[in-house]
C-alpha cells in the first residue's frame, strides 16, 4: 500500500445498542490498518455513514490509486451507486419526499471526500450482506460493536483529524464533539 499505483479495499460498519443509543463505527483493510470509534448517543445509520467517512478521511491521505469501500449498509452504498446525493444537492438537501435529508452533517463531508476531483484516487462502493460469514465484514462489525459497548474505539494507525471518538457523530450536538476520548491500540486484526 506504499506505492501510488496500489489500490485499497476498506471494509466499514456501524453498530448501535438501541436505536438511538450508544454506537460505534469501524473500518479495516484486510491484513492492514484499522480504526474504530464510539458515540454515546447516536443511531445505526449515523454510525454506518461515520465508518465510511472516517475510512475516507484516512485513505485520502495515503498514496493509493483507488479505494473500494465495502459496506453492509445499503443506505451508504446506494447513496453513491444510485447517485442519491445528486438529487439531494439539486433539491437543496431535501429528499424525494421534500423533507430535510437525515444526517446531512455526515453526508456532506463524506460526499465531498468520495467525489474529490483531480488526481485523487477514485472511490467505488460495494455492498456485502451483513452477518453472512464475510470475514472482514464480520471483523468490522466486531470492532464497531466493541466500540459501542466500551464507549471508545481503537486504532492500529494514527488517524489525523479524529480528536475524540464522537466527533460529529452524536444526536445531542450534530456539529461538534458529542463523544468520549478515543483509546489507542497497536496491533493486528488477525494473526
Active site members: 13-14, 48, 72, 131, 141
β-pair partners for 11: 28, 70
Q: Rounded to an integer, what distance in angstroms lies between the CA atom of residue 44 and that of residue 186?
A: 26
Which 8-state DSSP code applies to residue 39? E
CA dist., res. 38 & res. 174, Å (int): 14
DSSP secondary-structure letter at 175? T
Beta-strand runs (E) in 43-110: 66-71
Greatest alpha-carbon span in the chain: 49
Q: What is the number of other CB atoms lying within 10 angstroms of the CB of residue 118?
A: 4
* Secondary structure (3-state) at 49: helix
Q: What is the dihedral of CA 82, 83, 87, 88, to 10 degrees?
A: 110
Amino acid at each position: 500500500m506504499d506505492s501510488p499505483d496500489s489500490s485499497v479495499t476498506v471494509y466499514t460498519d456501524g453498530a448501535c445498542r438501541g436505536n438511538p443509543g450508544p454506537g460505534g463505527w469501524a473500518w479495516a483493510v484486510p491484513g492492514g490498518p484499522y480504526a474504530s470509534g464510539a458515540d454515546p448517543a447516536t443511531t445505526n445509520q449515523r454510525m454506518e455513514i461515520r465508518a465510511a467517512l472516517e475510512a475516507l478521511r484516512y485513505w485520502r491521505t495515503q498514496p493509493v490509486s483507488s479505494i473500494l469501500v465495502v459496506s453492509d449498509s445499503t443506505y451508504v452504498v446506494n447513496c453513491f451507486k444510485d447517485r442519491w446525493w445528486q438529487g439531494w444537492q439539486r433539491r437543496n438537501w431535501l429528499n424525494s419526499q421534500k423533507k430535510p435529508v437525515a444526517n446531512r452533517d455526515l453526508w456532506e463531508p463524506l460526499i465531498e471526500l468520495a467525489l474529490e476531483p483531480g488526481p485523487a484516487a477514485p472511490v467505488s462502493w460495494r455492498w456485502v450482506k451483513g452477518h453472512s460469514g464475510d470475514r472482514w465484514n464480520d471483523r468490522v462489525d466486531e470492532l464497531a460493536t466493541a466500540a459501542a459497548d466500551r464507549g471508545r474505539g481503537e486504532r492500529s494507525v494514527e488517524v489525523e483529524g479524529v480528536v475524540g471518538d464522537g466527533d460529529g457523530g452524536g444526536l445531542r450536538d450534530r456539529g461538534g464533539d458529542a463523544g468520549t476520548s478515543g483509546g489507542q491500540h497497536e496491533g493486528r486484526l488477525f494473526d
